Amino acid sequence: MADTTTPMARPATRVPGHFGEWIQGRLGPDGPVALVTLACPALAVAAPGQGPGLDRLFSPRAVAGFARALGLGPVAWPGLDPDMPMGAGAGASTACLVASARAMGWEGDPQALARACLDVEGATDPLMHPAPDRLLWASREARNLEDLAPPPRCEIVGGYLGTPQRTDPEDHDFPDISDLVSFWRGAVARDDLAAVAGIATESARRCTALRGPDDPIDALARDLGALGHARAHTGTARALIFAPGKVPDGATAALRDAGLSGVFGFATGGAE
């Protein structure tokens, strides 16, 4: 039976997504899957909105469990307006859960929200935290492994390659990135964008070599003079990394000509 509970007045909320990961992989052969998310303030989920609510996006059992975990009781979930497609590696599902909870007035510990999201998704992004790109995040455990310095300020031009693919929480087939995490600590501590872009590129290449698919992003980065590139390690988002003010004319057109859809640009990183 449909829930007819009348909700309390809902505060408007906007939860930014991400655009793939700077790095993602296993911390050693038997270690957890860990990542540093590439924060994307240009993409977000707004609530309340005109689109479907959680009860249309996830199973009734999962949504009921999410409400119980947050102490919300019977809920008439608000509609949601996501800027990003599901399965693109842009954080749509996590952002929908976080936006829904906040629109219902929930203001608790972000880690409690992370655990509730994990119960629904099986693998969750750190979008409930105020600075998600400053965490080394175990996505299949919904826990922060380490606090990090922020990535340097940069500009991204990116888009989506191929058809959406939802994350399989049982999938642990990722390359070892223990060395990249060590390099990352030093690069962000120095605010070294060239090093950060190189580390992201290596993570993306390892993922593509192991998991596919082949794509044109390496060649695009070289042809457009990007510092490097990043990808959604379980989605379709692909990103070129540029120093602020250094995106060349024609970059957007070049990505479209290479077959990427939804091409756009945004700034990310920095201390604020």
The structural domains of the chain, ordered by start, are 13-146 (3.30.230), 149-268 (3.30.70.890)
214 falls in which pLDDT band (50, 70, 90)?
confident
Give 10-55 pLDDT, tens digit per residue.
668 999 999 999 999 999 988 999 999 999 999 999 999 999 999 9
Give 72-94 pLDDT, tens digit per residue.
988 899 999 999 999 999 999 99
pLDDT of residue 2: 38
Of all residues in the chain, what percent carry a pLDDT higher than 70?
Answer: 96
Give 107-153 pLDDT, tens digit per residue.
999 999 999 999 999 999 999 999 999 999 999 999 999 999 999 99
Burial class from Cβ neighbours inside 10 Å (0-12, 13-18, 19+) for residue 220 reads buried
Nearest alpha-carbon partner for 76 in 110, 112, 52:
52
Helices (H), the chain: 54-57, 60-69, 92-103, 110-121, 178-189, 193-211, 217-224, 251-257
**Separation between Cα atoms, residue 78 and residue 9, nearest integer Å:** 11
pLDDT of residue 224: 98
Q: Which two tokens stand for residue 197?
A: 């872009």
For the chain, how many residues are written?
272
pLDDT of residue 156: 98
pLDDT of residue 76: 92
**Separation between Cα atoms, residue 184 and residue 189, nearest integer Å:** 8
**Separation between Cα atoms, residue 217 and residue 208, nearest integer Å:** 11
* 244, pLDDT greater than 70: yes
**What pTM was estimated for this model as a whole?**
0.93
* 5, pLDDT greater than 80: no
Backbone angles phi, psi at 229, to 5 degrees: -150, 160
Host H or E run for residue 238:
strand 237-242
pLDDT (mean) for 68-72: 95
